[in-house]
Structures are given as C-alpha cells and as structure tokens.
Chains A and B, each alone.
Chain A
Amino acid sequence: MTVAVFSFYLFAVVLITAAVLVITSKNPVHSVLWLIVCFFNAGGLFILLGAEFLAMLLVIVYVGAVAVLFLFVVMMLDIDFATLRRGFLSYLPLGLVVAGVILGEVLFAVGSWVPGRGVMMFDELVSAPDGMTNTQWIGSVLYTRYLFVFQAAGLVLLVSMIGAIVLTHRQRVGTKRQNIGQQVARTPANAVHPAQPGIGQGIDL
C-alpha cells in the first residue's frame, strides 16, 4: 500500500465521518467545527489530485472566511436548535425513503457508468504544460475561455449584495454618524471658545 493510497483512505474516511457529525451533533457550534475538519480533509484530497491551488483556496476561503462567518452567525443568532429538531423523528421515515430513492438512482447511474468521450479518468489526468504552475493554468482558462461565466458570476454576487442591502438596510432617524469632512474642516476658531470669567462668576455656554 503506497503512501498516496493510504492518505486517500485516511482523508476520505475522516471526511465522511466529519460530514456525518456535522448533521448529527447537537450543538451547532460543534457542527461548524466538524465542517472545518471536512474542509481540511477535502483540501487534502485535492492535494492528492495534484490541484494544490484549489486545496489552498479551500483552506483559505472556506476555513478562513466562510466557516468563521458561519460560526459568527450561529453564535449571534439566538436559534433554539432543540425546537427546530423536534419534528426530526416524525419526518425521519419520509426522509429515509427520499434518501433511499436517490441512493438507488445514484447506484443505477454509477453502475451503468461508462466514461463518456472527453471525461478523464484519474490515471490519464494530464498535468499542466511545462513551465506552468497549477495556478497559472487555471488563470489562463478562467479569464479567456470562461470569461463569460466568470463575469456573470460577478454579477450574481452583485445581485446578492444589492439584495442584502435592500432587504436589511434601514435608515434610522437620530443616529449619530461620523462626518470626516466636518471633522477635518473644524478649526480652533469654531471649536475653542476663550473666556475670561471674573472672580466668582460662571461661564455662559
């Protein structure tokens, strides 16, 4: 058994176990932590495939940003997961039936699977052209061949940003905001008020 095969099974088993724990753990914070374990192991699988750029992206973007954001959301929202879970048992049979049907479909599909033209199997994976790193290779198709969908994906993100602002942003009255222009334009003349009160007298403000 080579090291590669051993590490594949190690990563795969830990990945699947962690994935099961994500949906079964009672505490949502634990779920997010298991999710992070998942992401790390998926990154390991990518490295085994020779896609080190994707592996790093997965760790940096998903573990570094997305999972931490999840953690924030889970901790900040006051959701009682026990009540959300209450119907779990009564819906379980139906869920299992649906899952069973889909599993059956997958088995049928994979069982009859003959790789189509152009689908590359692992042993015939081409490596990047000489002198090109993995990252360069992705970049060279991302901004040329897939320019259209790349830009369109940017628009999808723009829509979600507009949507978040439209649906949640409220202009409250009476909030005090920092006005940097005003702060910079402030001079001693309009900020300081020299006074020379006589003895025993107060200051009129």
Chain B
Amino acid sequence: MNPTFASIAIAGPEAVLTAGSLLALMLGTYGGGDRALKGLTWVCVLILGIAGLTLLDDPATRQYAFDGLYVADGFSAFLKVLILGSAAASMLLALPYLADVKTGRFEYPVLLMLATLGMCMMVSANDMLSLYIGLELTSLASYVLAAFHRGEARSSEAGLKYFVLGALASGILLYGITLVYGFAGSTGFPVMHAVLGAQAERSLGVLVGLVFIVAGLAFKISAVPFHMWTPDVYEGAPTPVAAFFSAAPKAAALGLLVRVLVGAFGPMQVDWQQIVIFLSVASMGLGAVGAIGQTNVKRLLAYSSIANIGFALVGLAAATPQGIEALLFYTAVYLAMTLGSFLVVLQLRRADGAPVELLSDLSGLSKVRPGLAAALAIFMFSLAGIPPLLGFWPKFAVFQAAVGAGLVPLAIIGFITSVVAAYYYLRLVKVMYFDDAGVAVVSDGGRTNGAMIAAAALFCSPIGMLAITPLVAAAGRAAAALYVITG
C-alpha cells in the first residue's frame, strides 16, 4: 500500500476528526447556521464516536506513521478515549447554556472538534514538530472558545489573557526545542532518546532546553508556577468552556508531557525528575491554599484543577511504569469528577436567570434540589479523596507509586495538602446542606445534562469501585506500551 494511505489508516482518529470537522463546518455554514446548533452538536458527537471506534481495532503493538512523525500505541489510545469522551461531554453540556445566553453559534462544536483533533495529535506526537503543531491547534481553538461570549467584557478579557500568556509559553517551548535540537541533532523522540542516552556527559545546554520545554508544557497543564492564567480564564470564560478547559486539554497535555519526558528525555530522568517534583509540590500546595479564600465557584474549581494536576504529577515524578499507570488512572477519574462538578454548576440558574457563580448562591441547595446537591456532594467528597468514593483510589495509587520509587517525602506532602484541600471541598458541602437558602435557585438544564450528572455521580460513588479493575488494567497496558522501546 502507498505509505501515505497506510499512514492515514494508522492515524484513523485524526483522519475521521479532520474530515468530520470540515463536514461539520460545511453543514453549519450551509445548513441553517446558528439555528442548527443542536443538530450539529449531535452530529459532532457522532463523529467523535466514530473516531473512537477507529481506536478499537488498534493492534497492541506500537505503530509509526508519516515517517515517524506520528505514533499510535496503547498509551495514545487510552488517552484518546478519555479525550474524545470528555470532548463529547463538553459539547453536549453547553447546549442549554448557549441557548440561554443567546450566543448559540454553530462554530462552537466545530471549534471544539478541531481542538480535540489537536489533542489527539498531541498524545500521538513522536516528533517535536507534530507536538508543536498539535499543541498550537488546540491552543488556538481554546483562545477563541474562551472569548466565545464576545458580547461580555469578562469573556473577551479571558480570551486575551489566555492568548497573550499562551503565546509566551509557546515561545518558551519553541526556544527549548531549538536548544535541544542543537544538541541532539534531531526532533524525533526515538532519535533524541538514543542520542541523549549515548552521550556520556551531557552539556548544560540540553538541560536548559529541557527546562524551557517543561516550562512551556507546564503552562498548558496549569502547573504552579505557570498557573496564573487559570483562575482568571476559568472565571471569565463561559462556564461550559471552563468545563472543557478543565477536562480534555489537561488529559492531552499531561499525556504529552509524559511522552516527551519518558519517550524523548528518558536518559535524563534524574534531571527532569526534580523539576516534576517541584511542579507537583507547588501545584498541590498552591491549589490547596489558594482555593480557601475563593467565593466564586468557577475560581474554586480552577484551583481544584491546579491541585489535581499536582497530584497527577506525583505519578510522573515517580518515573516508573507504576507511576505512569497511576497518573493515567488519576486522569481518568479526575475527568469524571471535574466534568460532573461543572455540570451541576451549569444546571443551576438564579431566579433572575443569571447563571450561578457565587458560592453563596448554592446555600441551602439540598432543600431545593436534593438530587443535584447529593451529586455535587459526591463529586466534592470524591475530589477531596474521602475513602469509599472513587476519588480516593487514584490518589492512593499515585502516593503508592511515589513511595515505591523512594519518594516518601513527596507522598507525605501530597497527603498533607490533600487534607488541606479537603477543607474547601467540605465547605461547599456545608454551604449546600447546613446553610439557610439564600437565593432561590432553579434548575433548567436539559435532560441530557441530568443523565450525564447521574452517570458521573454513579461513577464517582462507591459503586464506581466496580470500574477500578478494568480501568487500572487499561491504564497498566497503556503505561506498559509507553515503555516498550524506552524501558
């Protein structure tokens, strides 16, 4: 077969998403425009589903395509399932909101799908070139989505802030890539791994390049100290967009970071391990402490996502297959918890029609909407890592991996920050259950969102423990696939 066609067959999800996003754009432009938003969204979800189906017949072995620019293996397949799933959820959960605030433009699902395409390219990148292009595709679509609610100054501000800081991070990343290219002589990950492994003493320049690359990628996962944009962007961006930001791009950028560090910089593990440990400790600490004073639910969830990235990075800091497995497990559970929390927030409206944003708006929710309050309580307990709920197990797994790698202090710090973070998660529960009802809250989300909340809550509840065994097995296979040639 022609090598190009063979490559396209290997890159099935990307091919489907490319064709699908172009088709959706045409459908939107010529098939009714903004009035067709609902139908178009379902078409896009269907296309994401088809892209997911192409992952099913993935062989277990690692396959390269496009002259080594692209790689498909168990690791990328696992993350792509997470990315496609949370992107589809992010599309659907926006429908009632967009109809309500009258910015229901048909480009929303199309941009989301293009961002998803970029994320799939990120987790399958096997070369700095494809890494950068995938990252830019995702980022550019995200900037537009953050400013999507263009009539509102806050949303435009969020988009602009995100854009300026994101461009700076991209510049830093590119600078690091050029430095490393100068020393390794290639942008391909396997070659870099081989060259760096063969050098007896590596020069300082590679290290500087590595630091720049990690800094650029840490911005994308909003790890401290590159997190400054997160609360502002989450607060200003439309709530469904904030939900999207907290889910799929985090999984993709984490996967990318793991791929770069293990796949390309594997021989420099001692060097990057310290950086990751610092990022992890700082994110956990600031995520826990920074959220305490917040009164806005979206800002609170932003800090929560920063803290969770810190916990996930504990797995990467361990730098063992077991650690990567724990990281993947953590990411999968985190996606369900964060999307569920945002769904509940989206579901609520104040009596005057304004979306619920303040913590005090939720007071007494248990008396008005007991079901939603119970779901949010489950998500909060789960995010806090209270044992019988699902959120406890991945946290346990990452700490176990850290201890297994001899990083006992890191695990202890993680444990302490997790206790600190429990304070603000539990405060939200207290506001819902023990405070007097302040503002009348009505719920007007669609039936689809209700079903998604129920599914996520069920997954995070103790019943979700049934899913642990298959999930951990899948994460284990994915982590093993990553280490096939590098280990």
Q: Which residues of A come within 8 Å of B, CB atoms?
A: 105, 108-110, 112-119, 144-149, 151-153, 155-156, 158-160, 162-163, 165-167
A residues in contact with B204, CB < 8 Å: 108-109, 112
Q: Are A112 and B144 in contact (CB under 8 A)?
A: no
- Contacting B143 at CB < 8 Å: which of A155, A158, A163? A163
- Contacting A167 at CB < 8 Å: which of B70, B144, B185, B186? B144
Q: Are B185 and A156 in contact (CB under 8 A)?
A: no
Closest-CB distance, B165 to chain A (whole angstroms)? 15
Q: Are A115 and B130 in contact (CB under 8 A)?
A: no
Q: Are A152 and B133 in contact (CB under 8 A)?
A: yes
- Contacting B117 at CB < 8 Å: which of A116, A155, A165? A155
Query: Which of B76-84, B107-115, B377-385, B455-463 forms part of the interface with chain A?
Result: B107-115
Q: Are A152 and B182 in contact (CB under 8 A)?
A: no
What are 17 pairs between A and B in contact, CB < 8 Å? A109-B179, A110-B205, A118-B186, A144-B67, A145-B66, A146-B67, A148-B11, A148-B69, A149-B69, A153-B133, A159-B111, A159-B141, A159-B144, A162-B25, A162-B114, A166-B144, A167-B159
Q: Are A162 and B107 in contact (CB under 8 A)?
A: yes
Q: Give the distance in Å from the alpha carbon of A115 to the alpha carbon of B182 in the complex.
A: 6
Q: Are B130 and A152 in contact (CB under 8 A)?
A: yes
Q: Are B129 and A146 in contact (CB under 8 A)?
A: yes
A113-B203, A148-B69, A156-B140 given; A108·B208 CB < 8 A: yes
Q: Are A109 and B144 in contact (CB under 8 A)?
A: no
A residues in contact with B137, CB < 8 Å: 152, 155-156, 159
B residues in contact with A166, CB < 8 Å: 105, 107, 111, 144, 148, 150
B7 interface hit (Cβ, 8 Å): yes
A109-B204, A113-B203, A166-B107 given; A156·B136 CB < 8 A: yes
Q: Give the distance in Å from the alpha carbon of A118 to the alpha carbon of B190 in the complex.
A: 14
Q: Are B147 and A152 in contact (CB under 8 A)?
A: no
Closest-CB distance, B160 to chain A (whole angstroms)? 10
* Chain B 58-79 near chain A by CB (<8 Å), digits 1 or 0: 0000000111011000000000
Given contacts A149-B129, A159-B144, A167-B159, 6 further A-B contacts (CB under 8 A): A115-B185, A116-B186, A148-B130, A162-B111, A163-B144, A166-B150
Closest-CB distance, A155 to chain B (whole angstroms)? 6
A105-B208, A112-B205, A147-B4 given; A160·B69 CB < 8 A: no
A113-B205, A167-B147 given; A162·B195 CB < 8 A: no
B323 interface hit (Cβ, 8 Å): no
Closest-CB distance, B75 to chain A (whole angstroms)? 19
Q: Give the distance in Å from the alpha carbon of A115 to the alpha carbon of B181 in the complex.
A: 9
Q: Give the distance in Å from the alpha carbon of A198 to the alpha carbon of B21 in the complex.
A: 66
A149-B69, A162-B144, A163-B144 given; A156·B133 CB < 8 A: yes
Q: Are B140 and A159 in contact (CB under 8 A)?
A: yes
Q: Give the distance in Å from the alpha carbon of A105 to the alpha carbon of B175 in the complex.
A: 11
Q: Which residues of B come within 8 Å of A, CB atoms?
A: 4, 7, 11, 18, 21, 25, 65-67, 69-70, 105, 107, 110-111, 114, 117-118, 121, 129-130, 133-134, 136-137, 140-141, 143-144, 147-148, 150, 159, 179, 181-186, 191, 195, 203-205, 208-209
Q: Give the distance in Å from the alpha carbon of A167 to the alpha carbon of B181 in the complex.
A: 37
Q: Are A119 and B185 in contact (CB under 8 A)?
A: yes
A159-B114, A163-B111 given; A112·B203 CB < 8 A: yes
Closest-CB distance, A165 to chain B (whole angstroms)? 8
Q: Give the distance in Å from the alpha carbon of A62 to the alpha carbon of B247 in the complex.
A: 38
B residues in contact with A165, CB < 8 Å: 107
A145-B67, A146-B129, A163-B111 given; A117·B185 CB < 8 A: yes
B residues in contact with A118, CB < 8 Å: 185-186, 191
A108-B208, A116-B182, A155-B18 given; A148·B148 CB < 8 A: no
Q: Are B69 and A146 in contact (CB under 8 A)?
A: yes
Ranked nearest first, the 9 interchain pairs of A and B with the lowest CB-CB distance are A116-B185, A109-B205, A118-B185, A163-B144, A148-B66, A112-B203, A119-B185, A152-B133, A117-B185
Q: Give the distance in Å from the alpha carbon of A44 to the alpha carbon of B4 in the complex.
A: 36
Q: Give the distance in Å from the alpha carbon of A152 to the alpha carbon of B18 in the complex.
A: 9
A residues in contact with B143, CB < 8 Å: 163
A112-B204, A163-B144 given; A149·B130 CB < 8 A: yes
Residue of A nearest to B28 (CB): A162
Q: Are A152 and B111 in contact (CB under 8 A)?
A: no
A residues in contact with B208, CB < 8 Å: 105, 108-109
Q: Are A158 and B114 in contact (CB under 8 A)?
A: yes
Residue of A nearest to B121 (CB): A152
- Contacting B140 at CB < 8 Å: which of A144, A147, A163? A163
Q: Give the distance in Å from the alpha carbon of A153 to the alpha carbon of B121 in the complex.
A: 12
Closest-CB distance, A122 to chain B (whole angstroms)? 14
A residues in contact with B130, CB < 8 Å: 148-149, 152
Residue of A nearest to B136 (CB): A156
A residues in contact with B182, CB < 8 Å: 109, 113, 115-116, 119
Residue of A nearest to B111 (CB): A162
